[in-house]
């Protein structure tokens, strides 16, 4: 994740600035505020700003003045109760703003979460950097035979080398043509000193989905937990999951009590349907239950058995 000299200086200046405040701050998150954490080959995530902490969740639930006088253990118990019983509004009192640099195809998945405020880099006004995502060999996999939106075995040998070569060569050629059509860079191949160049809003349309974009993404904690429950899940696509994993580490710093409850009751937990629960109760009573007499479809049965480790 190379940063330009100007970007590195901007981050350094931001991290050295300090201001006195009466609002809640979290030392563990302050330590990494503005720091760009690398993701994939050219991407990053950094926390730009935040509001609230674990105490803000408790305060909202109790509608109390100040931070209250309850012990931390009592606060944690309340937060866990709220998470366990899906009382979401107290978690909405906390907000966080991220600056994310990510491939466009990841952004198109990400934007499906419509509960955040987003402002994205515009290639209508600015020229995109020559940066595109190329998977590491370990992530270069074939289509899964059992999952229409998943990956199977990792490609090897000449097939893998050819795929990587095409991914890199096609993106490189697209950027060559993009820069030539813009006709703004005297060092670019095809530069025409007499040419006007194509409008930026048109020249961008030939670039691949692997091209990197950037945005500011602001979200409240309740909806951030929903995002993480889907995108930090092992079944999520690798390229978005690595961003979610980094963000989850940041949330652990920010609201450790709430994050621990989230990981216990959402991320690391499973839901069982009413018919599935009935099957579990029958099994606990000593009954030998088979799929045909369970009331579950074959797929539901397989999923339940996987959850139970049977």
User: What are the residues facing 102 on neighbouring strands?
Assistant: 213
Q: Are residues 236 and 178 part of one domain?
A: no
Q: Are residues 93 and 59 part of one domain?
A: yes
Q: Are residues 99 and 35 part of one domain?
A: yes
DSSP 204: G
Q: Are residues 169 and 125 part of one domain?
A: no
Q: Of 136, 137, 104, whose CA–CA distance to 122 is shortest? A: 104
Q: Are residues 149 and 122 part of one domain?
A: no
Q: In the listed set 192, 209, 226, which residue is the last one of a domain according to the structure? A: 209
Q: How high is the mean pLDDT of the chain?
A: 92
From the CB of residue 169, how many other CB atoms can be counted at a distance below 10 Å?
10
* 3-class secondary structure, 218: strand
Binned at pLDDT 50, 70 and 90, residue 7 comes out as: confident
Q: How many domains does the chain have?
A: 3
Cβ-count burial of 88 within 10 angstroms (0-12 exposed, 13-18 middle, 19+ buried)?
Answer: middle
Whole-structure pTM value: 0.90
pLDDT digits (tens, 9 = 90+) for 185-233: 888 778 888 899 999 999 999 999 999 999 999 999 999 999 999 999 9
Query: What are the respective helix, strand and coil percentages of the chain, to the nearest 5?
Result: 50, 15, 35
Residues annotated as catalytic are 231
Q: Are residues 74 and 24 part of one domain?
A: yes
* 3-class secondary structure, 11: helix
Q: For position 84, what pLDDT does the model report?
A: 95
Domain span including residue 286:
274-308
Contact present, 247 and 45 (Cβ < 8 Å): yes
Whole-number Cα distances in Å, 41 to 99, 101, 307 = 16, 11, 35
Interval 176-186 mean pLDDT: 92
Q: In the listed set 209, 224, 259, which residue is the last one of a domain according to the structure? A: 209
Q: Are residues 147 and 227 part of one domain?
A: no
Interval 235-260 mean pLDDT: 97
Check which CATH number belongs to the domain holding 229 and give it. 3.30.1360.170
Q: Is residue 66 left, alpha or beta, with left meaning phi > 0 and alpha meaning psi from -120 to 50?
A: left
Q: For position 15, what pLDDT does the model report?
A: 78
Binned at pLDDT 50, 70 and 90, residue 16 comes out as: confident
pLDDT digits (tens, 9 = 90+) for 31-61: 999 999 999 999 999 999 999 999 999 999 9
Is the confidence at residue 116, as pLDDT, over 80? Answer: yes
Q: Are residues 292 and 177 part of one domain?
A: no
- For residues 16 and 299, give the distance between their C-alpha atoms in angstroms, rounded to a whole number: 55
pLDDT digits (tens, 9 = 90+) for 67-78: 555 677 889 999
């Amino acid at each position: 994740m190379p940063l330009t000299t100007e970007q590195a200086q901007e981050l350094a200046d931001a991290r050295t600035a300090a201001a006195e405040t009466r609002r809640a701050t979290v030392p563990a998150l302050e330590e990494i505020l503005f720091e760009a954490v690398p993701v994939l080959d050219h991407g990053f995530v950094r926390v730009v700003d935040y509001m609230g902490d674990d105490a803000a969740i408790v305060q909202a639930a109790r509608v109390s003045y100040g931070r209250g006088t309850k012990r931390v253990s009592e606060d944690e118990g309340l937060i866990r109760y709220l998470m366990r019983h899906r009382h979401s509004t107290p978690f909405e009192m906390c907000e966080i703003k991220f600056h994310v640099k990510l491939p466009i195809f990841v952004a198109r998945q990400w934007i499906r979460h419509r509960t955040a405020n987003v402002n994205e880099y515009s290639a209508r006004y600015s020229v995109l950097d020559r940066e595109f995502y190329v998977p590491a060999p370990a992530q270069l996999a074939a289509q899964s035979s059992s999952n229409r939106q998943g990956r199977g075995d990792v490609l090897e040998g000449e097939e893998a080398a050819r795929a990587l070569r095409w991914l890199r060569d096609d993106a490189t050629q697209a950027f060559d043509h993009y820069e030539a059509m813009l006709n703004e860079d005297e060092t670019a191949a095809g530069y025409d000193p007499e040419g006007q160049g194509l409008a930026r809003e048109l020249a961008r349309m030939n670039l691949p989905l692997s091209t990197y974009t950037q945005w500011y993404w602001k979200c409240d904690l309740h909806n951030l937990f929903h995002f993480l429950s889907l995108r930090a899940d092992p079944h999520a696509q690798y390229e978005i999951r690595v961003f979610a994993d980094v963000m989850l580490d940041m949330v652990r710093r920010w609201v450790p009590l709430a994050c621990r409850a989230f990981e216990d009751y959402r991320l690391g937990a499973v839901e069982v349907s009413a018919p599935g629960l009935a099957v579990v109760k029958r099994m606990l009573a000593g009954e030998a239950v088979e799929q045909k007499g369970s009331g579950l479809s074959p797929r539901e049965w397989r999923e339940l058995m996987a959850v139970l480790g049977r």
